[in-house]
């Protein structure tokens, strides 16, 4: 150790992540002190219930329910409570009392990050949050520091492990959406409220953080377009596989210019078709990966565990050591860079490709009609695949009075899969709406974006 002083570390929360952070701070005390250059002393752990049974055995005398008092005496406050309040008030109190902060709280940073970073900047404090996106995977510091001299063009990321687990089961084992969700729930992959994962809220919070960092801009969670995976069927997954794709829930952040040529940021979360030879296609189970495309560095992929108590604790402890090193070096915290201050554009400004699966009338002139609808919206067809519809075959086989009475049995249909060239999402969405309204279209079976090609 190069210094005999110590830094007082206050831990807020001793749950899945906090319990391991406390254990590792105690077990690896001397090693961490040697690396940081200063002793990191865990002075207390604030929880709701000091008598609660815990997965990790920790000294009883460290526990308190008085978070406010604990914060006042700390140099570094590690917030691992989660949620908005009281986590936000505790973090602001810590900054106000001169402490630096480590947090893994993506929900809080996505909603109130700007306020927290501004408070820290006013007093020269640090707020580190490596665990907030993709848990154990180092991605915050690479974006904030390592790529600070580059020009990030785009990020495609799998940042929600439970939905990746569900989609991966459907793809590899042929599970239905319901069965895959049930297994994910049984294995504890899903949050207590599964809609946070399944409907993309968790991924959208992480997308907001990634987009802000990558483009030096404040991106609020409300600025992230969000679609979940609940509408994805096994049929979609199998059809994607036949075409050489896998379906992933992607968090995407990219630079785009809108129709007026104004450069801005597009941040969105939605299921997408990813080519099977893309690095993200090989991210299986509950793992996460962040694929960064930078002007000078080219493509980079960060991969690993996106959740888990001990895995996430690794990222938290890295932040604690970094803060300790800066304490020793002296000076004020670096703070967040929002210098670019770009506008956040709506999903309509994004450029993407669609794969549209339609049930259409099988009669002369239909293809020309549908191609005309697409062309009139500025959407160009790249691929077209037609097959005789299973629905048609069964319609003629089933002697249903209702069907026969309505004349539907005589109506030959085909399945048409249209792959488009790249176009504005607004144009593609308008084209799908017009296709759905066409007399030639029986139904729109699925619409999926193709990303990463
Ligand atoms: P848990 O729910 O397991 O633990 C929360 C802890 O906070 C508990 O110890 C609880 O106390 C304590 N707590 C709750 N409310 C209060 C309060 N009002 N005052 C004091 N303490 C309180 O959460 P996790 O450990 O899973 O997550 C912590 C953070 O890390 C969250 O922001 C989460 O998003 C983030 N994160 C989690 C990951 C994971 O894999 N779990 C991955 C990446 C990030 P008590 O024990 O007494 O109930
Ligand atoms: N619910 C999250 C996930 C946990 O499935 O990835 C980690 O943030």
Q: How far, in Å, CA of 102 to CA of 11, rounded?
A: 9
Q: Tell me if 172 CB under 6 Å of ligand 1.
A: no
8 contact partners, CB below 8 Å, separation of at least 6: 41, 43, 73, 74, 75, 76
Distance CA 410, CA 398 (A): 12
Q: How far is the CA of 41 from the centre of ligand 1 (A)?
A: 21
Q: What pLDDT does residue 27 have? A: 98
pLDDT for 389 equals: 58
pLDDT of residue 4: 58
160 lines ligand 1 (CB under 6 A): no
Q: Whose CA is nearest to atom 12 of ligand 1?
A: 13
Which pLDDT does position 388 carry in this prediction? 78
> Looking at residue 453, what is its pLDDT?
74
- Which numbered ligand comes closest to the C-alpha of 308? 1
Residues comprising the binding site?
12-19, 106, 191
pLDDT value of position 365: 93
Q: Is 206 a catalytic residue?
A: yes
User: In terms of CATH, what superfamily is 141-305?
Assistant: Dihydrodipicolinate Reductase; domain 2 (3.30.360.10)
Residue 271 · residue 227 · CB < 8 Å: yes
pLDDT at 218: 94
- The pair of structure tokens assigned to 160 is 């929600």
Tokens 């005589």 correspond to what residue? 410
Regarding the beta carbon of 194 and ligand 2, being less than 6 Å apart is answered: no
State if residue 14 touches ligand 1 by the CB under 6 angstroms criterion: yes
Instruction: Using the mean position of ligand 1's atoms as its centre, give its distance from the Cα of residue 414 in Å.
Output: 52
Ligand 1 atom with the smallest distance to the CA of 47 is 21
Point out the ligand nearest to the CA of residue 68. Answer: 1
Q: Quick check: 165 and 189 in contact, CB under 8 A?
A: yes
What does the domain layout of the chain look like in residue ranges?
6-136+310-329, 141-305, 350-450
d(Cα 196, Cα 105) in Å, to the nearest integer?
Answer: 14
For residue range 50-81, what is the model confidence (pLDDT) as tens digits? Answer: 999 999 999 999 999 999 999 999 999 999 99
Q: Report the atom number in ligand 1 closest to the C-alpha of 52.
A: 47
The pLDDT value given to residue 336:
85
Please work out whether the CB of residue 82 comes within 6 Å of at least one atom of ligand 1: yes
C-alpha 34 to ligand 1 mean position (Å):
29
- Residue 349 CA to residue 427 CA, distance in Å, equals 9
Ligand 1 contact, 18 CB (< 6 A): yes
Q: For the domain covering 350-450, report its CATH number.
A: 3.30.70.260
Helices (H), 174-257: 177-186, 195-198, 201-215, 234-242
Return binding residues for L-homoserine: 191
Ligand 1 pocket mutation, candidates 12, 23, 24, 47, criterion most atoms within 8 A of CB = 47
Report CA Rg, the chain. 26
- Counting ligands in written order, which one lies closest to the CA of residue 161? 2
Of 11, 12, 16, 197, the residue with max ligand 1 atoms within 8 A of its CB, to mutate for a pocket test, comes to 16
Q: Which two tokens stand for residue 384?
A: 């077209």
Q: How far apart are the first and last CA of the chain?
A: 50
Closest residue by CA, ligand 2 atom 8: 307
Q: Is 22 in the pocket of ligand 1 (CB under 6 A)?
A: no
Binding residues for NADPH: 106
Fold of the domain built from segment(s) 6-136+310-329: Rossmann fold (3.40.50)
Within the chain, which residues score under 50 in pLDDT?
Answer: 1-2, 391-408
Query: 53, 88, 206, 248: which is the annotated catalytic residue?
Result: 206
What are the CA-CA distances from residue 19 to residues 30, 143, 220, 233, 313 (Å)?
19, 28, 30, 38, 9
Distance (Å) from CA 292 to ligand 2 centroid: 20
Binding residues for NADP(+): 12-19
Distance 405 CA to ligand 2 centre (A): 51
Q: From the alpha carbon of 165, which atom of ligand 2 is closest?
A: 5
pTM: 0.93
The edge-to-edge listing of strands for the beta sheet with 100-103 is: 63-64, 39-46, 6-12, 76-79, 100-103, 127-128
- φ/ψ (deg, to 5) at 388: -65, 135
Q: What is the whole-number distance in angstroms between the Cα of residue 198 and the centre of ligand 2?
A: 10
Other Cβ atoms less than 10 A from the Cβ of 200: the count is 27
Give the C-alpha separation, 25 to 42, whole Å: 7
**Cα 54 to ligand 1 centroid, rounded to whole Å:** 12
228 CB near ligand 2 (under 6 Å): no
Ligand nearest to the CA of 108: 1
Cis peptide preceding 408, ω within 30 of 0: no
At what angle are helices 106-123 and 201-215 packed, to 10 degrees? Answer: 30
Coil, strand or helix at 2: coil
């Amino acid at each position: 150790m190069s210094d005999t002083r110590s830094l007082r570390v206050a831990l807020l929360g001793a749950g899945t992540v906090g319990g391991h952070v406390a254990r590792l701070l105690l077990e690896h005390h001397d090693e961490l002190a040697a690396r940081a250059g200063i002793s990191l002393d865990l002075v207390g752990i604030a929880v709701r219930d000091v008598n609660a049974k815990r997965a990790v055995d920790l000294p009883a005398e460290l526990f308190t329910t008085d978070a406010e008092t604990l914060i006042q005496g700390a140099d570094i406050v590690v917030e691992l409570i989660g949620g908005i309040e009281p986590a936000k008030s505790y973090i602001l109190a810590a900054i106000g009392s001169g402490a630096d902060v480590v947090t893994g709280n993506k929900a809080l940073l996505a909603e109130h990050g700007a306020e927290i970073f501004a408070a820290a900047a006013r007093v020269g404090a640090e707020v580190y949050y490596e665990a907030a996106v993709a848990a154990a995977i180092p991605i915050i510091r690479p974006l904030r520091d390592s790529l600070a001299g580059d020009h990030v063009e785009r990020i495609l990321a799998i940042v929600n492990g439970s939905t990746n687990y569900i989609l991966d089961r459907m793809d590899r084992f042929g599970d239905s959406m319901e069965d895959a969700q049930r297994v994910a729930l049984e294995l504890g992959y899903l949050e207590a409220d599964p809609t946070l994962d399944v409907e993309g809220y968790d991924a959208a919070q992480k997308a907001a953080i990634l987009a802000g960092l990558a483009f030096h801009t404040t991106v609020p969670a409300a600025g992230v377009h969000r679609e979940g995976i609940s509408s994805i069927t096994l049929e979609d997954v199998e059809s994607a596989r036949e075409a050489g794709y896998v379906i992933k829930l992607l968090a995407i952040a990219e630079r785009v210019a809108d129709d007026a040529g104004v450069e801005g940021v597009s941040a969105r979360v939605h299921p997408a078709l990813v080519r099977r030879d893309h690095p993200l296609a090989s991210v299986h189970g509950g793992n996460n990966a962040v694929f960064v495309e930078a002007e000078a560095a080219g493509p980079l992929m960060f991969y690993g565990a996106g959740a888990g108590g001990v895995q996430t604790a690794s990222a938290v402890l890295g932040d604690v050591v970094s803060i300790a090193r800066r304490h020793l070096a002296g000076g004020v915290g670096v703070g967040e860079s929002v210098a670019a201050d770009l506008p956040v554009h709506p999903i309509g400004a994004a450029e993407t490709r669609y794969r549209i699966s339609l049930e259409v009338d099988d009669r002369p002139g239909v293809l020309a009609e549908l191609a005309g609808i697409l062309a009139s919206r500025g959407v160009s067809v790249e691929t077209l695949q037609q097959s005789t519809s299973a629905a048609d075959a069964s319609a003629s086989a089933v002697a249903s009075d209702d069907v026969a009475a309505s004349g539907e049995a005589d109506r030959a249909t085909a399945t048409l899969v249209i792959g488009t060239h790249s176009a504005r999402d607004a144009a593609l969405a308008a084209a799908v709406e017009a296709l759905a309204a066409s007399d030639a279209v029986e139904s729109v079976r699925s619409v999926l974006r193709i990303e990463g090609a």
